[in-house]
Amino acid sequence: MSETHVSSNAAQAVASGNPETSFRVAALQMVSTPDRERNLAEAERLIAEAAADGAQLVLLPEYFCFMGFKDTDKLAVREAYQDGPIQRFLADAARRHKVWVIGGTLAITAPEASRVLNTTLVFDPQGNEAARYDKIHLFSFEKGEESFDEARTICPGGEVRTFEAPFGRVGLSVCYDLRFPELYRRMGDCALIVVPSAFTYTTGRAHWEMLLRARAVENQCYVLAAAQGGKHENGRRTWGHSMLIDPWGEIVAVRDEGAGVVIGDLERARIDEVRQSLPAWRHRVLS
């Protein structure tokens, strides 16, 4: 079942029936390290850069705060829900820069001591938590020397989550979720879907762009994807290519590799134009 959260400011826009017609968003690309404090300092730098360029919402990548040398390292930096330095950082950054902050993912304590939840937290410009999403689909991949199995250290979430922002509904997903279109259908009518990610170089080169563009075309909405992008200190290489895609599947902005900001505007008129000329959203029969 989908659950929608509405902040006070967004609620006013939704209730009035007049969502903002243009809204600037930014995807922050990082090359995160095993040093939490260094990662938070880099995230702060990028949030400040995006806010200075007019961004009203910023999206951090998956694992923005920590990428350890081995999977179990994340257990050492897990936080109890609503208590911990990473969560305080996200709330403070949103309040300080007066922007919506979607906090990529961080490790939140799970019922099992040997695993965590891979959690996205959303904070409004007042620093209040607006939504939480626990990653549902857990990545596994075997090819040559590459081997991944997130289920060893992560518990899957079980709820589809969205929240209302001033420009409309935002659907929350994380990385491997991108391969499961049924998740996005259950979000309902979104103006924006976000995808914080840490795609591997191999899978990203093969499928990243086509999957992102497919989700935008299928749902006739914007897609904002913030990725890890580069060679990490733990030896892992991630694909990067953080991007903003419009409802027709066109790439508005992209960054190939390296830390930086990808910024662009969401235009309600563009969503309306696409849906009027090709009314696939209204033609849906199966759910």
> Of 65, 155, 175, 221, which is the active-site residue?
175
Buried b (16+ CB within 10 A) or exposed e, 90-119: bbebbbebebbbbbbbbbbbbeeeebbbbb
Q: What is the dihedral of CA 47, 48, 49, 51, to 10 degrees?
A: 80
CA distance 198 to 123: 21
Closest CA to 223 of 258, 260, 181, 256: 181
For residue 139, which phi and psi values (nearest 5 degrees)? -75, 135
> Of 62, 79, 164, 257, which is the active-site residue?
62
Is 257 noted as a catalytic residue in this protein?
Answer: no
**Which amino acid is present at 276?**
Q
CA distance 254 to 122: 23
Is 62 noted as a catalytic residue in this protein?
Answer: yes
Is 231 noted as a catalytic residue in this protein?
Answer: no
> Of 65, 79, 129, 135, which is the active-site residue?
135
The catalytic residues are: 62, 135, 175
